[in-house]
């Protein structure tokens, strides 16, 4: 368990998300996370004791209490003491940490989970606290306002228009999980911050997600069709909004290149685009053509469990491989205003390995 | 099940932040109605300025003054301003490239409606009347016809009485929900009963319940009434009076293992001199009329519990 591994030797073997369950605002974070952990463990047969590493993603600002993640740990079963870590951001970055942990050879299996309970506060106000505290945060610009500035820049540049955004909104809400949450607003709706309408904005809701990772020699026993992580990388852009070209996402493109996304075409892409306009930016940055199926899950427009939404994208992409519906999928997660930080993972099905493991 | 109890919580911090040499000059300049940018390694003038180059991470120190007029590079009409935003009436968010600057500044534009706003609109700063050295010294922008093109001019960034730090108040409002297990516990407390939940796996009873056995990681559901009497497992003597607490010091704060519980909860001990409280002391809760939980615990008048009966609960 101490040999360094190569990228590609780690797979996602199970995924569960709370969007597939009845919506309940009256439960705690631990109560939200626990059934998902049970689900991924039961599906793989991997016990808590056999899980080498646990990593979670969440935000104290969103929860409105300090060290909120320690409460959620109740649901993990952390005794005898487990090897555990936490990131104060979307769970996609927790998955990155767990992936690195397995690549270094310090773990063979890992549990990753993320949760958010945005119903406790005003997510538009809360996320403004992550902005530059000197020149930006004192103006309390919310994430819809900042995304709307980006959308206007895109429209001015001729990359989309309001009808184009409405088409993305309609597809998002027709996604697999679009009906599992609370009734969403109508596809177009009123302007929230012009040019973005309610239909262009994410369906913010409470939710959680859980993923199990396993190294090469364990994955085939835990999952019929493991989703092998071919590469993963994350990159960030300058914090000054006025310094960035808001119509482009060079950090996404760079992360994708380093993750190997451009080596061969993907058939599916799960993009963490909280706003319709941001899907336009991401498609352009990643060079995704009409042949690529975008966000069959519905994406963040269908359900945005803040701090879990990015991990859900990776899990959804993996699940399509688990179900045999994709051979090679790209998953993307974002954090910060106007797609400031971006993570890209490339997942693949490996038919040869599946045959090897089927052999007597 | 009826709606779980909810409680509001306001989290409020006055964050005090010190300023580096560039931001100190920039914010002091705003107080003096002067807008400063910083020259980046590639020669661009960045407004608002930064201490380090966004591309090369070089330390930046060369300041330049730009104009109070500029051009809108993108905009977003905000029909419903939120708390803390620059204007209380509908306004447009704008990124403005001030004359002489190469990057744009985020702020608000006071305009009669979205029809009056467009990318390329010429605007100027409307200064706040009371200026303290903060980004809000710019009250907002307003439409203003003028010719663009004024270049940036060198500036030494020196002002009398420079701003050393800013205070950025952050306030966020939450409504917390008790959750299923806490709800049941609170409902029982209203009847002066203390309940916990038993883990189906290890059989331990948790009080107050959190809905989960943190050892086994499984849901708890079986309600168990515990106490009302219990045993002091450990305690401390509090000698400093807490704000808003109407209790005379010194007093004793203790861990109390209620009979039938496998986890000690904490409470204040009264009805006995503070220096006579001891481990193993048997206590019972005292409820005050209308109280949502025991006000304190007092001696139950029983012999002390033997150490072995609570050693696992320490």
DSSP letters, A159-199, are: S--HHHHHHHHHHHHTSTTTTTSSPPPPSS-SEEEBTEEGG
Strands (E), chain A: 10-17, 53-57, 84-87, 109-116, 191-193, 196-197, 207-215, 227-236, 268-270, 293-294, 328-335, 341-348
**H or E stretch covering B22:** helix B21-31
Which structural domain range is residue A70 located in? 10-121+204-222
Whether B86 contacts B94, CB under 8 Å: no
Reading chain B (314 residues) residue by residue, the pLDDT tens digits are 567 788 899 999 888 999 999 999 999 999 999 999 999 999 999 999 999 999 999 999 999 999 999 999 999 999 999 999 999 999 999 999 999 999 999 999 999 999 999 999 999 999 999 999 999 999 999 999 999 878 999 999 999 999 999 998 889 999 988 888 888 999 999 899 999 999 999 999 999 898 888 888 888 989 999 989 999 999 999 999 887 778 888 999 999 999 999 989 999 999 999 999 999 999 999 999 888 889 999 999 999 999 999 998 88
Cβ distance of B83 and A140 shorter than 8 Å? yes
Nearest CA in chain A to B18: A134
- The verdict on residue B43 lying in a domain is yes
Is the CB of B174 less than 8 angstroms away from the CB of A238?
no
Q: Which residues 73-102 in chain B show a CB within 8 A of chain A?
A: 73-79, 82-86, 93-95, 97
CB contact under 8 A, A242 and B73: yes
Q: What is the pLDDT of residue A179?
A: 43
| Domain-embedded: residue A212 | yes
Residues 236-265 of B with CB under 8 A from A: none
User: pLDDT per residue over A197-228, tens digit each?
Assistant: 999 999 999 999 999 999 999 999 999 999 99
Is A37 a member of any domain?
A: yes
Per-residue CA distances from A255 to A232, A234, A262, A273, A293 (Å): 7, 5, 11, 16, 20
**What six digits make up the tokens of A24?**
């309940």
Q: Which of B152, B48, B25 is nearest to B103 (CA)?
A: B48
B84 close to B169: Cβ distance less than 8 angstroms: no
- Phi first, then psi, for residue A236 (nearest 5°) are -130, 155
Which of B93, B137, B165 would you mutate first to test chain A, the one with the most A CBs within 10 A? B93
Considering only the beta carbons, identify the residue of B23, B84, B176 that sits closest to A140.
B84
Q: What is the pLDDT of residue A80?
A: 84
Residue B220 falls inside a structural domain = no
Whether chain A has a CB inside 8 Å of the CB on B57: the answer is no
pLDDT at B290: 82
The tokens of A144 are what?
Answer: 């819809």
The gap from C-alpha A140 to its chain's centroid, in whole angstroms, comes to 26
Q: Which tens digits make up the pLDDT trace of A61-112? A: 998 888 888 888 888 888 888 999 999 999 999 999 999 999 999 999 999 9
Do the Cβ atoms of A156 and B119 come within 8 Å? yes
C-beta separation of A114 from A104 below 8 A = no
Range of the domain at B267: 227-313
The ipTM is 0.92
pLDDT at A346 over 50: yes
Residues of A in contact with B218 (CB under 8 A): 34, 38, 77
Angle made by CA atoms A112, A125, B53, in degrees to the nearest 5: 80
Number of domains chain A contains: 1
Contact B256, B266 (CB under 8 A): yes
Answer whether residue B262 is part of any domain. Answer: yes
Q: Which of A196, A224, A232 is nearest to A103 (CA)?
A: A232
C-alpha torsion sign, points A305, B95, B135, B100: positive
CB contact under 8 A, B172 and A125: yes
**Min Cα separation A156/chain B (Å):** 8
> Is A139's CB within 8 Å of B175's CB?
no
CA A221, chain centre distance (Å): 26
- Taking an 8 Å cut-off on Cβ atoms, the answer to whether B48 and A27 are in contact is no
Domain membership of residue B204 (yes or no) is: no
State whether residue B286 is helix, strand or coil.
strand
How many residues comprise chain A?
360
B/e letters for B5-33, b = 16+ CB within 10 Å, e = fewer, are eeeeeebeeeeeeebeebbbbbbbbbbee
The pLDDT tens digits of the residues spanning A257-299 come to 999 999 999 999 999 999 999 999 999 999 999 999 999 999 9
> Taking Cα atoms as reference points, which of B297, B186, B217, B306 lies closest to residue A84?
B217
Does one domain contain both B91 and B233? no
Q: Residue A183 pLDDT more than 50? A: no
Q: What are phi and psi of A57, to 5 degrees?
A: -130, 135
- CATH number for the domain harbouring residue B281: 2.40.50
Q: Does the distance separating the beta carbons of B106 and A242 come in below 8 Å?
A: yes
CATH number at A21 reads: 3.40.47.10
What residues form DSSP beta bridges with B37?
A: B64
Of the partner residues B9, B104, B216, the one whose CB lies closest to the CB of residue A242: B104
Q: How distant is the Cα of B129 from the closest Cα of chain A, in angstroms? A: 17
The whole-model pTM stands at 0.92
In this structure, is residue B234 part of a structural domain? yes
Same domain, B10 and B136: yes
| Domain final residue, candidates B155, B170, B185 | B170
Q: Is residue A214 domain-resident? A: yes
CB atoms within 10 A of CB A188: 16
Match 């300049």 to its residue by tokens.
B29
Helices A276-286 and A250-258, packing angle to 10 deg: 50
Of B77, B174, B181, the CB nearest to A120: B174
**Residue numbers in A near B134 (CB within 8 A):** 138
Residues of A in contact with B175 (CB under 8 A): 120-121
Express each pLDDT in A289-331 by its tens digit. Answer: 999 999 999 999 999 999 999 999 999 999 999 999 999 999 9
Taking only Cα atoms into account, the Rg of chain A, rounded to an integer number of angstroms, comes to 19
DSSP-derived secondary structure letter, A131: S
- Residue B133 shares a structural domain with residue B236: no
Q: Are B48 and A34 an interchain contact pair (Cβ–Cβ within 8 Å)?
A: no
Instruction: Find the farthest-apart pair of alpha carbons in chain A and give their distance in angstroms, rounded.
Output: 65
The DSSP element (H or E) to which A109 belongs, if any, is strand A109-116
Contacts of A340 in chain B (CB under 8 A): none
Query: How confident is residue A178, by pLDDT bands cut at 50, 70 and 90?
Result: very low
Among partner residues A35, A129, A239, which is closest to B170 by beta-carbon distance? A129
User: Which chain A residues are Cβ-neighbours of B108 within 8 angstroms?
Assistant: 139
Token pair of A209, please? 């997600």
Q: Which residue has the higher pLDDT, B56 or A180?
A: B56
Instruction: Verify whether the Cβ–Cβ distance A242 to B103 is below 8 Å.
Output: yes
Domain count, chain B: 2
**Is A79 inside any structural domain?**
yes
Of A74, A129, A243, the CB nearest to B210: A74
Contact assignment for A74 to B17 by CB distance below 8 Å:
no
């Amino acid at each position: 368990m101490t040999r360094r591994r190569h990228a590609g030797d780690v797979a996602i073997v199970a995924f569960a998300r709370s969007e597939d369950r009845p919506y309940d605002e009256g439960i705690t974070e631990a109560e939200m996370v626990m059934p998902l952990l049970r689900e991924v463990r039961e599906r793989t047969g991997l016990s808590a004791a056999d899980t080498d590493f646990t990593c979670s993603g969440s935000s104290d600002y969103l929860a409105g209490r300090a060290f909120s993640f320690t409460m959620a740990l109740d649901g993990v079963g952390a005794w005898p003491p487990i090897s555990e870590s936490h990131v104060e951001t979307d769970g996609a970055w927790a998955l990155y940490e767990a992936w690195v942990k397995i690549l270094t050879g310090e773990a063979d299996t890992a549990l990753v989970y993320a949760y958010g309970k945005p119903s406790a506060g005003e997510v538009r106000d809360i996320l403004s606290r992550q902005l530059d505290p000197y020149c930006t945060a004192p103006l309390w610009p919310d994430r819809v306002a900042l995304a709307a500035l980006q959308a206007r820049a895109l429209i001015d540049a001729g990359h989309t228009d309001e009808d184009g955004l409405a088409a993305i909104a309609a597809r998002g809400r027709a996604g697999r999980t679009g009906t599992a949450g609370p009734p969403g607003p109508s596809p177009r709706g009123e302007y929230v911050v012009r040019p973005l309408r309610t239909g262009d904005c994410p369906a913010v809701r409470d939710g959680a997600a859980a993923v199990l990772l396993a190294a090469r020699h364990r994955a085939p026993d835990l999952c019929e069709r493991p989703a092998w992580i071919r590469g993963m990388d994350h990159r960030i852009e300058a914090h000054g909004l006025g310094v960035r070209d808001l119509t482009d996402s060079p950090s996404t493109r760079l992360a994708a290149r380093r993750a190997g996304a451009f080596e061969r075409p993907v058939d599916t892409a799960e993009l963490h685009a909280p706003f319709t306009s941001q899907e336009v930016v991401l498609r352009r940055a990643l060079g995704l053509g009409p042949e690529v199926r975008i966000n069959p899950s519905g994406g963040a427009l269908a359900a945005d469990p803040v701090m879990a939404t990015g991990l859900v994208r990776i899990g959804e992409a993996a699940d399509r491989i688990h179900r045999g519906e994709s051979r090679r999928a790209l998953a993307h997660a974002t954090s910060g205003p106007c797609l400031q930080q971006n993570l890209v993972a490339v997942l693949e099905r490996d038919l040869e390995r599946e045959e090897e493991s089927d052999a007597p | 099940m009826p709606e779980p109890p909810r409680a509001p919580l306001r989290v409020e911090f006055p964050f005090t932040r010190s300023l580096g040499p560039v931001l100190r000059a920039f914010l002091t300049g705003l107080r003096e109605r002067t807008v400063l940018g910083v020259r980046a390694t590639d020669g661009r003038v960045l407004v608002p300025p930064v201490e380090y180059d966004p591309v090369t991470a070089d330390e930046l120190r060369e300041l330049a003054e730009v104009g109070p007029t500029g051009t809108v590079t993108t905009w977003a009409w905000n029909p419903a301003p939120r708390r803390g935003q620059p204007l209380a009436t509908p306004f447009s968010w704008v990124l403005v490239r001030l004359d002489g600057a190469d990057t744009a500044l985020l702020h608000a534009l006071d305009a009669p409606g979205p029809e009056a706003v467009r990318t390329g609109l010429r605007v100027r700063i409307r200064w706040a009347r009371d200026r303290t050295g903060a980004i809000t010294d710019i009250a907002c922008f307003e439409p203003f016809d003028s010719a663009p093109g004024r270049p940036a001019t060198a500036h030494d960034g020196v002002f009398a009485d420079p701003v050393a730090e800013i205070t950025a108040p952050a306030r966020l409002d939450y409504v917390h929900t008790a959750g299923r297990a806490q709800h049941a516990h609170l409902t029982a407390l209203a009847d002066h009963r203390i309940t916990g939940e038993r883990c189906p796996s290890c059989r331990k009873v948790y009080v107050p319940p959190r809905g989960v056995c943190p050892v086994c990681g499984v849901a708890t559901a079986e309600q168990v009434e515990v106490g009302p009497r219990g045993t002091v497992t450990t305690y401390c003597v509090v000698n400093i009076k807490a704000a808003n607490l109407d209790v005379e010091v010194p007093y004793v704060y203790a861990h109390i293992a209620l009979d039938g519980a496998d986890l000690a909860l904490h409470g204040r001990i009264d009805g006995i001199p503070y220096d006579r409280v001891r481990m193993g002391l048997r206590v019972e809760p005292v409820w005050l009329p209308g109280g949502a939980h025991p006000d304190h615990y007092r001696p139950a008048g029983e012999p002390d519990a033997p150490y072995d009966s609570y050693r696992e609960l320490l």
